[in-house]
Structures are given as C-alpha cells and as structure tokens.
Amino acid sequence: MKALIPSSLLSYTHSPEIEAAGATLGELLDDLDRRYPGLRFRMIDEQDNIRPHIRIFVNGEQTFDLALALRPTDVVHIVQALSGG
C-alpha cells in the first residue's frame, strides 16, 4: 500500500511516497522500520503510542489505533506537526 511521508522524515526514506506492507497499521510501521531503520521511533514512543506531534491518517481518516486493519488499497498519510512562533 502507499505511505505518504512528511518532509521532516525524508532523511530516512528519501521519497515522499513509498510502498509498505502490513495487515495492521502497527505492522505497516514495523515494515517501514525494517526498510528505513529508526523511522518508527520517530513516530511511536516507548509505550507503543503515536507521538503527540505525529498524526496518521488512513484513507483520510485520522487514527491512533495501531491495531487498525489495513487493506492493500489503503493510503496511509503520516503528518508531523510543526511548531514555532
């Protein structure tokens, strides 16, 4: 399935759109980490929760559920919030 990566994480993937596999969102993130070591830690904390500055959308719907079932046709969009003043 297609995963869209924010510009702040392109140092890992070198591409804003990549292919990934997984039956669940958590498995997809594990697959991304196998392909791009260290990427998952930038999105998921030590308690296996999505970090506060990360938003993940599946087919346009925001989710925090790493157990969410995915289909091969789904699009996962990862967004990183920016702060500043």
pLDDT of residue 76: 97
Domain coordinates of the chain in residue numbers? 2-80
Look at strands 2-4 and 75-80 and give their pairing.
Answer: parallel
pLDDT of residue 82: 74
pLDDT digits 0-9 by tens, 39-57: 999 999 999 999 999 999 9
For the chain, how big is the Rg over CA atoms in Å? 12
Instruction: Classify domain 2-80 by CATH number.
Output: 3.10.20.30
